[in-house]
């Protein structure tokens, strides 16, 4: 059974937003190292990030970001894709290979535990640390209503 | 799914150079240096041209013989191109079975104001041999060139003459066989 789109989005996001070194370390823990072939070697380009004011407004272009993408295939024909921020080609390649491996139900649970959950935990820690760091300089803005009437 | 070019930048530049050479000397057999993996019914030269020239801005049309699931997946992934059902909407067309190719009028021949906005047909043949066969003349050919292309029906050559007659409008044709390529732009006059 193929994975649900949400499940796949979750691990692709975890792999993409992880530190490249953490993905490489997770890959090194796989034994034996799974073989894969490159479909499209890692290449770096720009994607336009779009946003909506307030989350619901008219879409606007926020700016371009550097992204590296890669696609690989396994011997059984499964294809894995990765789009990762930055220009770390190895990160993209490993993330694509893990995406392909994770589509196999037989190994998914094990890989989720071994690779994805630690990456997500590390990401939560990074985000919490960032929040704690900026919380000290938080300022509340408000606008006085002018009494012109 | 199979890989595309091993070295996308340099290989697509070499293929572009090969197509340029073929287009500037109609009837000359150009051997493309890039030999990408070719899915199903496609020849390596056909795939190389597609990988180098076809992208998201150039809709492609495939005839029934070319439009296998493998080919469609390969072109979608590596070229990112839209695949259209109507020959008239295509910028590129791949014809793997010339016996059943649509009438030449089915493809976009551009307009008198913009004759360059026309379709390019990639027609697969079995063999391309220069020096004997049909007589070609026109720009890029000093006196005359001769070309023998296997497995092209007589009506293909009639269509080439009709195509030449509506200059500046018209389509351009790239004949491929294996890794070889011959261009028949709309300016080329075919006899015999």
pLDDT of A149 reads 60
Q: How many domains does chain B have?
A: 1
Query: DSSP 3-state assignment of B184?
Result: strand
pLDDT band at B45 (very low <50, low <70, confident <90, very high): very high
Residue B8 sits at the chain A interface (C-beta within 8 Å): yes
pLDDT of B23 reads 97
Determine whether the interchain pair B3/A77 forms a contact, defined as Cβ–Cβ distance below 8 Å. Answer: no
Question: Of the candidates B120, B42, B32, which has an alpha carbon nearest to the alpha carbon of residue B75?
Answer: B42
Question: Does residue A88 have a cis peptide bond before it, meaning omega lies within 30 degrees of 0?
Answer: no
Rounded-to-integer distance, Cα B28 and Cα A130, Å? 64
The boundaries of the domain holding residue B99 are 8-187
pLDDT of A140 reads 83
Give 3-state DSSP helix, strand, coil % of chain B, rounded to 5.
30, 25, 45
Question: In this model, does residue A66 exceed pLDDT 90?
Answer: yes
Question: In this model, does residue A143 exceed pLDDT 80?
Answer: no
What is the ipTM for the molecules in this complex?
A: 0.75
pLDDT of A16 reads 97
Question: In this model, does residue A145 exceed pLDDT 90?
Answer: no
Please spell the DSSP secondary structure of B23-71, one letter per residue: HHSTT--EE-S------TT--HHHHHHHHHH--TTS-EEE-TTT--HHH
* Model pLDDT for residues A91-116, shown as the tens digit of each residue: 999 999 999 999 999 999 999 999 99
| Chain B: closest CA distance from residue A70 (Å) | 12
In chain B, the percentage of residues whose pLDDT exceeds 90 is 93
Mean pLDDT of all residues in chain B?
95
Domain boundaries, chain A: 5-132
pLDDT of A148 reads 66
Mean pLDDT of all residues in chain A?
93
Cβ B59 vs Cβ B65: under 8 Å: no
Two tokens at A31? 């034994």
Buried b / exposed e along B87-115 (16+ C-beta atoms within 10 A): beebbbbbbbebeebeebebbbbbeeeee
CA dist A38 → A3, A70, B3 (Å): 22, 8, 7
Tell me if B1 is assigned to some domain. no
Determine whether the interchain pair B78/A43 forms a contact, defined as Cβ–Cβ distance below 8 Å. Answer: no
Average pLDDT of the segment spanning A125-144: 90
pLDDT band at B192 (very low <50, low <70, confident <90, very high): confident
Rounded-to-integer distance, Cα B35 and Cα B51, Å? 11
Tell me if B46 is assigned to some domain. yes
Rounded-to-integer distance, Cα A122 and Cα B120, Å? 52
pLDDT of A129 reads 96
CATH number at residue B38: 3.40.50.11310
CB atoms within 10 A of CB A105: 10
pLDDT of A139 reads 86
Two tokens at B155? 């009506």
pLDDT of A115 reads 95
Residue B74 sits at the chain A interface (C-beta within 8 Å): no
* Model pLDDT for residues A16-55, shown as the tens digit of each residue: 999 999 999 999 999 899 999 999 999 999 999 999 988 8
* Model pLDDT for residues B106-151, shown as the tens digit of each residue: 999 999 999 999 999 999 999 999 999 999 999 999 999 999 998 8
pLDDT of A120 reads 96
**Residue indicated by tokens 């696609």:** A71
Question: In this model, does residue B29 exceed pLDDT 70?
Answer: yes
Q: Which residues of chain A are within 8 Å of residue B76 when distances are taken between CB atoms?
A: none
pLDDT band at A2 (very low <50, low <70, confident <90, very high): confident
Tell me if B127 is assigned to some domain. yes
Question: In this model, does residue A144 exceed pLDDT 80?
Answer: no
Determine whether the interchain pair B8/A43 forms a contact, defined as Cβ–Cβ distance below 8 Å. Answer: yes
Q: Among all residues of chain A, which has the CA nearest to that of B79?
A: A40
| Beta-sheet strands, E only, within chain B | 30-31, 60-62, 92-95, 120-124, 128-137, 145-149, 172-177, 180-184, 189-191
Tell me if B174 is assigned to some domain. yes
**Residue indicated by tokens 């408000």:** A142
| Touching A: B residues 27-46, CB under 8 Å | none
Tell me if B3 is assigned to some domain. no
Rounded-to-integer distance, Cα A15 and Cα B14, Å? 36
Q: Among all residues of chain A, which has the CA nearest to that of B37?
A: A39
């Amino acid at each position: 059974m193929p994975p649900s789109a949400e499940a796949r989005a979750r691990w692709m996001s975890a792999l993409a937003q992880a530190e490249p070194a953490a993905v490489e370390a997770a890959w090194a823990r796989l034994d034996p190292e799974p073989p894969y072939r490159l479909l499209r070697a890692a290449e770096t380009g720009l994607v336009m990030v779009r946003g909506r004011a307030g989350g619901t407004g008219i879409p606007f272009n926020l700016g371009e970001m550097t992204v590296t993408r890669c696609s690989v295939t396994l011997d059984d024909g499964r294809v894995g894709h990765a789009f990762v921020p930055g220009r770390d080609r190895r990160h993209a390649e490993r993330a694509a290979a893990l995406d392909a491996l994770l589509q196999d139900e037989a190994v998914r649970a094990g890989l989720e535990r071994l690779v994805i959950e630690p990456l997500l935990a590390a990401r939560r820690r990074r985000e919490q640390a960032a929040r704690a760091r900026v919380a000290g300089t938080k300022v509340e803005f408000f606008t006085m209503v002018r009494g012109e009437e | 799914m199979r890989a595309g070019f091993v070295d996308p930048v340099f290989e697509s530049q070499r293929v572009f150079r090969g197509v340029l050479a073929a287009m500037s000397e109609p009837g000359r057999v150009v051997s493309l240096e890039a030999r990408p993996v070719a899915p199903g019914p496609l020849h390596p030269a056909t795939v190389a041209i597609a990988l180098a020239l076809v992208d998201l801005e150039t809709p492609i049309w495939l005839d029934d013989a070319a439009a296998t699931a493998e080919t469609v997946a390969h072109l979608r992934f590596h070229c990112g191109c839209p695949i259209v059902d109507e020959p008239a909407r295509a910028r590129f067309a791949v014809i793997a079975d010339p016996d059943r190719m649509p009438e030449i009028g089915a493809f976009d021949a551009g307009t008198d104001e913009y004759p360059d906005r026309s379709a390019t047909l990639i027609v697969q043949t079995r063999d391309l041999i220069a020096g004997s066969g049909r007589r070609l003349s026109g720009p890029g050919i000093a006196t005359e060139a001769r070309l023998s292309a296997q497995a092209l029906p007589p009506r293909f050559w009639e269509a080439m003459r009709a195509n030449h007659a509506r200059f500046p409008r018209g389509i351009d044709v790239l004949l491929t066989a294996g890794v070889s390529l011959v261009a028949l732009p709309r300016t080329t006059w075919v006899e015999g």
